[in-house]
A and B are shown apart, each in its own frame.
Chain A
């Protein structure tokens, strides 16, 4: 596919923010923005949907809690209910306070780790992944916005020029 994008480079996050708002107002599609650090409010300006990762984390926590309860109920109560130091292993609820530290830790463990793995999967991050960086300066002190073009190249170019871009590049690699 030979779709064209214009890469506009900025050297200030405030300029970038106003540029994003202008480009959105002119109804051009922003393909991607590369920044060296999180720019507060950028996702809102771009109109990105809010993340649902907290919801997944809550569900993973419930899984962890169920695993802990099932595991300890089976091991300590059903499979071999020994008398260990007089602890009441007749039913789960009777011995529950002793299980709470494990139930808590398992909930946190599942919620945290599975959420991080979800994040890696959704953001397509893994070791030996080839970096997708159109310009090395975007990890240091420059901000890069990619705007897709479909025949109206000059118009988009002049718009981006007005927004204070320090450099404009037309790229065809996408």
Chain B
């Protein structure tokens, strides 16, 4: 049995407390009026450059200034309101990105776990309890995401622009989609996805624990069947979830492989977290039967799925870039203009780095190499989600500041707390699993 070390527990409390402070600061410092919003932007921008630009612009426009005076006043109002919405969205988006990121890790692990069960993999049963512990975060994590969606639905924030009835009234494109994008149906769908995932997780864990003391393999067989069923359900709901929770922040844009792209991101993050927690537990002496070959296999998955993620990222980017159809390409235009560093930086972190680090077979057995690659992959996929949500919610007002880091810290703390408390609730080695002997002696 695993005992939750006090150090780690206190560490997770500290992370949560710091995170709440950071998020709270983000919410408190968000402007509530247009004037405040303008003041924030004026204070943020670099004064010298700003003044110079202003002078330059004024000089150029003096001749036409009078004609446009009335027009400008109107534009200024609209601009101010836009600015206010972006700045008000900032802490919400920071919260949402972090909440989704950690939820998606446990969902990715759940998919990986179901695949291991359905494929009857012989190497992974010694890791099942680690995976089950990580997926225990799914219920609280998805519930928090649902609450954020609910708060968006009651108009406490402007994360989803299609929820704003005033916007929809002037937007025929969104009107055309309102059969799918309307708040009640949106929330019902979210409940169905979360319900299905959490139900599979609940029963799979139950059968897995029951198998430890069973007389026969009936629990194992049940688990095999529900895993196969879950994978079908998961593929459909994951795809729809990515349209609902992520793609709909840009309701004018659509992409057919978006669901797969989000899946690849969650899958590789999930596998990375399995590897990191396994290495941590192994280093504390809790996983007797885990050897270098298990780590090697996980690292191979990290490597392979990182490349799969890049393949999907590039397929989506290149198809849209190549055809350059205005209604699609704005998605990438805003990202390349306003998010150049995160947009291309994540390619280095999610592709080039793992490609070069994890290619060598020997390196995949060196724990600190896997940990280093894993941390970079996780940060890279946080930025991936950041790039999906932020441009549509805060636009060019993005910054990875106190609220964003606070969001990561809070959910990291909660994640650690939930995962490691679940680890204490069952023995770390699944007994009587038909593949457990093979898995214990797994050698690559």
CA distance A82 to B37 in the complex (A): 47
Q: How far is the CB of A87 from chain B (nearest CB, A)?
A: 8
Interface residue A58 (Cβ < 8 Å from any Cβ of B): yes
B-side contacts of A58, CB under 8 Å: 359
| Dominant SS among interface residues on chain B | helix
**Interface flag for A116 (CB, 8 Å):** no
- Asked if A98 contacts B322 (CB within 8 A), the reply is yes
Contact of B318 among A54, A86, A100 (CB under 8 A): A100
Contacts of A98 in B (CB 8 A): 318, 322
Check A38 for interface membership: any CB of B closer than 8 A: no
CB–CB B324/A86 < 8 A: yes
- How far, in whole Å, are A54 and B324 apart by their CA atoms in the complex? 39
Query: For A97, what are the chain B residues with a Cβ–Cβ distance below 8 Å?
Result: 314, 317-318, 321-322
Interface residues as binary, A85-125 with B (CB distance below 8 Å gives 1, 0 otherwise): 01000000000011010000000000000000000000000
A88 CB to closest chain B CB, in angstroms? 10
CA of A98 to CA of B320, assembled, Å: 11
A101 to B, closest residue via Cβ: B318
A58 to B322, CA, bound (A): 30
Q: For the complex, what is the distance from the CA of A133 to the CA of B429, rounded to whole Å? A: 50
A100 contact set on B, CB distance < 8 A: 314, 318
Interface residues of A in 47-64 (CB under 8 A from B): 54, 58
B residues 351-371 touching A (CB-CB < 8 Å): 359, 361
Contacts of B359 in A (CB 8 A): 58
Kindly state the separation between the CA atoms of A86 and B359 in the bound complex, as whole angstroms.
Answer: 38
Chain A residues with Cβ under 8 A from B361's Cβ?
54
Which A residues are in CB contact (< 8 Å) with B322?
Answer: 97-98
Q: How far is the CA of A98 from the CA of B324 in the complex (A)?
A: 12
A100 to B321, CA, bound (A): 13
A10 CB to nearest chain B CB (Å):
24
Closest to A87 in B: B322
Q: Which of A34-89 contact B (CB under 8 A)?
A: 54, 58, 86
* A interface footprint on B306-324 (CB within 8 Å = 1, 0 otherwise): 0000000010011001101
The 0/1 profile, CB within 8 Å of A marked 1, for residues 116-159 of chain B is 00000000000000000000000000000000000000000000
Interface centre among A58, A97, A98 (most CB of B within 10 A): A97
* Nearest CB in chain B: distance from A17 CB, A: 15
Closest to A58 in B: B359
Q: Which residues of B contact A86 (CB under 8 A)?
A: 324
**Which parts of B311-359 form the interface with A (CB within 8 Å)?**
314, 317-318, 321-322, 324, 359
A100 to B314, CA, bound (A): 9
Q: How far, in angstroms, from A75 to B62 measured CA to CA in the complex? A: 48
B228-276 interface with A by 8 A CB criterion: none
CA separation between A97 and B318, bound complex, in Å? 6
Q: Which residues of A contact B321 (CB under 8 A)?
A: 97
**What is the CB-to-nearest-CB distance from A161 to chain B, in angstroms, rounded to a whole number?**
33
A contact residues around B314 at 8 Å (CB): 97, 100
- Shortest Cβ gap from A84 to chain B (Å): 12
Nearest B-chain residue to A86, judged by Cβ: B324
A60 CB, min distance to chain B CBs, angstroms: 14
B323: nearest chain-A partner, CB-CB: A85
In whole angstroms, how far apart are the Cα atoms of A54 and B359 in the complex?
A: 10
In the assembled complex, which residues on chain B have CB atoms less than 8 Å from the CB atom of A54? Answer: 361
Interfacial chain A residues near B317, Cβ < 8 Å:
97
Chain A residues with CB below 8 A from B324, complex form: 86
Give the docked Cα–Cα distance between A100 and B361 (Å). Answer: 26
CA distance A54 to B364 in the complex (A): 15
Compute how far the CA of A97 lies from the CA of B359 in the bound complex, rounded to whole angstroms: 24
What separation, in Å, do the CA atoms of A131 and B317 have in the docked complex? 52
Shortest distance between the CB of B358 and any CB in chain A (Å): 13
Bound CA span A100–B322, Å:
12
Identity of the chain B residue whose Cβ is nearest the Cβ of A55 in the assembled complex:
B360
**What is the distance, in angstroms, from A56's C-beta to the closest C-beta of chain B?**
14
Measured CA separation A148–B98 after assembly (Å)? 67
CB-CB nearest in chain A for B319: A97
| Chain A positions within 8 Å of B318 at CB level | 97-98, 100
Question: Could you tell me the distance between the alpha carbons of A86 and B321 in the complex, rounded to whole angstroms?
Answer: 12
CA distance A58 to B324 in the complex (A): 35
Known: A54-B361, A100-B318. 10 other contacts (CB 8 A): A58-B359, A86-B324, A97-B314, A97-B317, A97-B318, A97-B321, A97-B322, A98-B318, A98-B322, A100-B314
**A positions within 8 Å CB-CB of B:** 54, 58, 86, 97-98, 100
Residues of B whose CB lies within 8 Å of any CB of A are 314, 317-318, 321-322, 324, 359, 361
12 contacts between A and B (CB under 8 A): A54-B361, A58-B359, A86-B324, A97-B314, A97-B317, A97-B318, A97-B321, A97-B322, A98-B318, A98-B322, A100-B314, A100-B318
Q: Which 4 A-B pairs have the closest CB atoms?
A: A97-B318, A97-B321, A98-B322, A100-B314
